[in-house]
Amino acid sequence: MSEIRIKEIEYEPLLAIEFTRPLETIDICVASIEPKKTNDILKILSSKLSMVEMNIGHLKRIKKSEKHEKMLDVIINTSTDMEKTEKSLKELLKNANINEDVIKDFRMCKASKYPAFTKDQFNEWKNVWPMIFKDHDSQHNIKLSDKDLENAKKWLSIALDRAEEDKRQVPENKYNNCAVIVDPASSEVLAIETDNRIKCNHPLKHSVMECIKTISDIHNGNNGKNSEIDDQASKRRKLNSEPCIMCCMALVHSRIGRIFFLEKNELDGGLESIHQIHIQPELNHHFQVFKISIKQ
């Protein structure tokens, strides 16, 4: 049995699209107003046209006008019907005993469609229209410790080595993959399994499912080992191929904590290629995912 030794790896956290999307803009209807009437106009706008209700709560409603000296620009709404917008707002001003001359030049401008989740996004997108920024750096700048990297290399080497051995034993196995589930607190290997679909002629015997079954057997005391194993919420999994959608959902239900994988699964990968199951807001458990590349 050969031993694969990985000297150095690079990693990329697979984040939600909110952290990686480029700038997309929407049209906003703005007008220029006299500064002395700002509070009165904002009260009217906020009561009738809330920024949150228009799904633009991430934008600042007002800014210094670049077009009209000593005036401010304010977001009215997201409608492209400026004539109707102007008529409606001036009617509201009239009802509030505010002279309509304090507002002028209704026009369309651009603004970011989405809130910025990173500082780089914010620094770029705020130039289109000023924005409110909530710092999500703790979710974005995920850094692995030196110990994490050493352990990732160690267990990835084992997964690759076991997959290579399995390929020699079952040359016709086109699903050549190996999964390792580790307890990060003790660095104990809880399960290490290869893909057995071809070997056992069973469509569900993916390496991940086999690992989960092994741990389940330990929990249930069906394999002669100590059944005192913690919940999997902190467990980490290393494998050489992105798990399929079925396996990803099984890992959600198993409360896995972190996944490392090496290669994309273009056919039905559930973490990058087809879906990003680990960050779906509808699910009640989420976990970190890192795509690993081996430095030559």
pLDDT of residue 184: 83
Tell me the percentage of the chain whose pLDDT exceeds 90.
52
Domains in the chain, start-ordered, CATH in brackets? 8-16+140-295 (3.40.140.10), 22-126 (3.30.70)
pLDDT of residue 36: 92
Tell me the percentage of the chain whose pLDDT exceeds 70.
92
pLDDT of residue 296: 59
pLDDT of residue 140: 63
Find out whether 256 and 247 touch, Cβ atoms under 8 Å.
no
pLDDT of residue 294: 87
- Reported in sequence order, the residue ranges of the chain that DSSP labels E, i.e. its strands, are 9-13, 25-33, 62-64, 72-77, 103-112, 178-183, 188-194, 236-241, 258-263, 288-294
**For the residues 266-284, what does the mean pLDDT come to?**
92
User: What are the pLDDT digits (tens) for 39-82?
Assistant: 999 999 998 889 999 999 999 999 999 999 999 999 999 988 88
pLDDT of residue 136: 74
Q: Which of 262, 266, 290 is nearest to 278 (CA)?
A: 290
Using 50, 70 and 90 to split pLDDT, how confident is the model at 180?
A: very high
User: What are the pLDDT digits (tens) for 66-77?
Assistant: 999 999 999 999
Residue whose entry in the numeric block shows the structure tokens 């999994």: 237
Using 50, 70 and 90 to split pLDDT, how confident is the model at 187?
A: confident
pLDDT of residue 31: 95
User: What are the pLDDT digits (tens) for 214-227?
Assistant: 999 887 876 655 44
pLDDT of residue 65: 94
What is the pLDDT of the chain when averaged over all its residues? Answer: 88
User: What are the pLDDT digits (tens) for 194-212?
Assistant: 999 999 999 999 999 999 9
Give CA–CA dist 86/294, Å, rounded: 60
Give CA–CA dist 233/287, Å, rounded: 9
pLDDT of residue 247: 95
What residues contact residue 209 under an 8 Å CB cut-off, 6+ apart? Answer: 246, 247, 250
Checking if the pLDDT of 229 tops 60, the result is no
Q: From the DSSP assignment, how many helices (H) and strands (E) are in the chain?
A: 9, 10
Residue type, 228: E
Using 50, 70 and 90 to split pLDDT, how confident is the model at 175?
A: confident
pLDDT of residue 228: 42
Q: What are the distances in angstroms from CA 86 to CA 12, 271, 275?
A: 49, 47, 44
Q: Between vectors from CA 212 to CA 208 and to CA 213, what angle results, nearest 5°?
A: 115
Q: Which of 186, 206, 185 is nearest to 195 (CA)?
A: 206
Give CA–CA dist 66/91, Å, rounded: 26
